[in-house]
Amino acid sequence: MSESDIDMDRAMQGIDCEVPKITWTNCADKRPPYDPIIIKDMRSSAIYRTHGEGFLLCQRERSYGFTGSLKDYEWTPYTPEKWKELNK
């Protein structure tokens, strides 16, 4: 039995079930804070770990792949648990 099978079995039983709930906010509705955040590109589903300040600057300059308008992106506050869950 693989580690992921064991983890799934434990999650199904409610053991060690600490999967973080990820709530996304559209950047057009609420600008991201200057704190560490996770950005999701709604067009490609790509995720990025950055600071809100860096994202807004790159998006304004159309650099580092952040093209399109703010409505094309969603953000959530960064935590190591969320980042790990999104990169499974």
| Distance separating alpha carbons of residues 31 and 50, to the nearest angstrom | 14
Indicate yes or no: pTM above 0.85.
no
Tell me how many degrees the CA angle 67-73-75 measures, rounded to the nearest 5: 135
Task: Give residue-wise pLDDT tens across range 8-62.
Answer: 555 555 555 566 789 999 999 999 998 999 999 999 999 999 988 888 888 888 8
Q: Which of 10, 74, 65 is nearest to 42 (CA)?
A: 74
The pLDDT value given to residue 7: 54
